[in-house]
Homo-oligomer: A and B are copies of this chain.
Amino acid sequence: MSCYVGVSMAKVTFEPSGKKINISSGISVLEAANNAGVGIDAPCGGKGTCGKCKVYLNQGTLGELTASERKVFSAGDIAKGARLACRATIQGDCIIDVPKESLLGEQKILVNGAEYPVEIDPLVKVFSVTLPKPTLEDNACDWHRLQNALAEQTDYDSIDMDISTLRTLPKIIRDQKYTISVTMYRNRVLAVGDPSLDAVYGAAVDIGTTTMVAYVMDLVSGKIIGVGSMMNPQIPYGDDLMARISYSFKEENLEKLSKLVVDGVNKIINEGCEKAGIEMSSLSEVTIVGNTAMHHIFLRLYPKYLSLAPYCPAVQHPLDLRASDVPININPVGNVHMLPVVAGFVGSDHLGVILSCDIHKSSEMTLAIDVGTNGEIVLGNKDGMVCCSAAAGPALEGSTIKYGMRAADGAIENVNISRGSLNVKYKTIGGSKPLGICGSGIIDVVAEMLKSAVIDVTGKIRERLEDENDRVREGDHGYEFVLEWARRTKIKKDIVITSNDLREVQLAKSAMYAGASILMGHKGITAKEIDRVLIAGAFGNYIDVENAMTIGLFPEVPLDKVKSVGNAAGTGARMSLISGVKREEEREILEKLRYIELATHDTFQDEFVSAMNLPHKDISLFSETMKKVYAPIPVKNNR
Q: Which residues of A contact B (CB under 8 A)?
A: 134-145, 162-164, 166-167, 169-171, 174, 299-302, 304-305, 309-317, 319, 321, 325-326, 341, 343-344, 595, 597, 599-600
Contact = CB atoms under 8 A, between A and B. Distances in A.
Contacts of A140: 312, 316
User: Dominant SS at the A interface?
Assistant: loop
Contacts of A313: 141-142
Which are the 3 A-B pairs with shortest beta-carbon distances?
A141-B316, A139-B310, A143-B315
B310 A142 contact: no
14 contacts: A134-B310, A139-B312, A139-B597, A140-B316, A141-B315, A142-B312, A142-B315, A143-B314, A144-B317, A162-B325, A166-B299, A167-B299, A167-B302, A171-B302
A139 B305 CA distance: 11
Given A136-B310, A142-B312, 7 more contacts: A139-B312, A139-B343, A142-B305, A142-B313, A144-B317, A163-B300, A167-B314
A130 B174 CA distance: 54
B312 A141 contact: yes
Contacts of A138: 310
A26 B290 CA distance: 60
A249 to B, nearest CB: 11
A309 B170 contact: no
A311 B597 contact: no
B136 A597 contact: yes
A189 B227 CA distance: 37
B139 A344 contact: yes
Contact of A311 (B139, B145, B309): B139
B171 A141 contact: no
B167 A300 contact: yes
A344 B134 CA distance: 13
Contacts of A164: 325
A170 B303 CA distance: 9
A163 B136 CA distance: 44
A319 B343 CA distance: 37
Contact of A310 (B135, B304, B341): B135
Contacts of A325: 162-164
Contact of A299 (B135, B163, B312, B321): B163
Contacts of A305: 142, 170, 174
A317 B321 CA distance: 25
B312 A166 contact: no
A116 B40 CA distance: 71
Contacts of A143: 314-317
A103 B583 CA distance: 62
